[in-house]
Amino acid sequence: MPGITLAFILFALVVVTIGLGVRIVPQGSKHVVQRLGKYQSTLSPGLNLIIPYIDTVSYKVTTKDIVMDIPSQEVITRDNAVIIANALAYINIVAPEKAVYGVENYIFAIQSLVQTSLRSIVGEMDLDDALSSREMIKAKLKAAISDDIADWGITLKTVEIQDIKPSPTMQHAMEEQAAAERARRATVTRAEGDKSAAILQADGRLEASRRDAEAQVVLAEASQTAIRKVAEATQTGELPVVYLLGEKYIEAMRGLANSQNSKLVILPADLPAAVRGLIGSLKG
C-alpha cells in the first residue's frame, strides 16, 4: 500500500508538472509569460512550452480589433456654444507586453486620451464648423492620439465621431433663433409686398391723373376748334358761344329727362335769348 500511494503521488506530480509546462494559446490571443515576476516572453497562438513552477502566464491579451465606446461629454466651442459629442475608437494590440507593462489600464487610458483630444479639437472650432466637419475632426483626432498609443504597443485603426449635437439648452436656443429669423424674413417680405403694392397704386393714380389731364386738354382743344369753325361759318361773335352753350344745355336737359328721379323738366321758350342774357349779365 505505501508503494501504491507513492506511485500515485508521483504520477499526479508528473501530470501537474506537464500541465504547468504546456500552454495552448487560442487563435486571436497572446499570453504574456513572467519568470519569477519578470517579463520573459510572449506566447503566440498554438502549443507552447514553459518552465513549470518558474514561468507563469500573467496576462492574456486579445489580438482582435477592439471597439471602444468613448462616453459622451459636453464640449465648449470657440464661440461659447455647448455641444455633446461621443466617438468610437477601433484599436489593435500589436505588442501585448507593452500594453500590459506600459500603462496601468490601456482601455481607460485610451478613452481618456480620446476625450481630451476631442475637447481640444472642438474647442478651437465654431459651432457651425463643429457640427458640419466630422471628417476633419476625425482626421485630427486620429493624428493626435496615434503616436501616443503607439508607445503602448497599440495601433489605432480608425476613430469615428458617433454623434455630435448641441446640448438640449443650446438646441432650444437655436430653435428660438431660427423661429425669430423666419418671423423676421416674413415681416420683411410682407413689408416689401406692401411697399410694392403702394408704389403700383400710386403709379396707377399718377397715370390716371395724367390721362385725365390729357383728356381735358383734348376736349378743350376740340371746343376751341368747334368755336372757331362756328365763328368762321357765321361771321359773328356771340353765336358760336350761344350755339355751344345751347348744345350743353340740351344735353343736360336730356340727362334730367332720362333720370328716374326727375318728374318735370322746364325748357325756356327762347333759349338763344336766355343764353345771350346770361352772357350779357356776365359781361356786366
What does the pLDDT look like over 8-45, one tens digit per residue? 788 888 888 888 888 899 999 999 999 988 999 999 99
Question: Position 84: which residue type?
Answer: I
Name the nearest CA neighbour of 93 among 61, 69, 58. Answer: 61
What is the per-residue pLDDT across 107-158, written as a single tens digit (0 to 9) for each? 999 999 999 999 999 989 888 888 888 889 999 999 989 888 998 999 999 8
Taking each helix axis as running N to C, give the angle between helix 134-150 and helix 106-123, from 0 to 180 degrees, rounded to the nearest 10: 140
3-state secondary structure at position 50 = coil
Q: Is the pTM of this model over 0.75?
A: no
pLDDT of residue 281: 47
What pLDDT band is residue 277 in, cutting at 50, 70 and 90?
low
Q: What is the CA radius of gyration of the chain?
A: 54
How high is the pLDDT of residue 283?
Answer: 47
Q: Are 169 and 74 in contact (CB under 8 A)?
A: no
Q: Rounded to whole angstroms, how far apart are CA atoms 30 and 180? A: 61
Mean per-residue pLDDT over the chain, rounded: 80
CA 110 to chain CA centroid, Å, is: 33
Which pLDDT value is given to residue 26? 92
Question: What digits encode the pLDDT tens for the residues 152-177?
Answer: 999 999 899 888 888 777 666 666 77
What DSSP character marks residue 105?
A: -
Torsion of CA 45, 48, 50, 52, to 10 degrees: 110
Highest mean pLDDT among 95-109, 161-175, 258-272: 95-109
* Out of 18-27, 61-70, 213-222, 228-237, least confident range: 228-237
Q: Distance between CA atoms of 156 and 161, rounded to whole angstroms?
A: 14
pLDDT tier, 92 (very low <50, low <70, confident <90, very high otherwise):
very high
Give the integer Cα–Cα distance in Å for 243 and 8.
Answer: 159
What count of Cα atoms within 13 Å lies in the side-chain half-sphere of residue 114? 28
Grid coordinates representing 212 are 385725365
CA-based nearest residue to 45, from 75, 61, 20, 25: 25
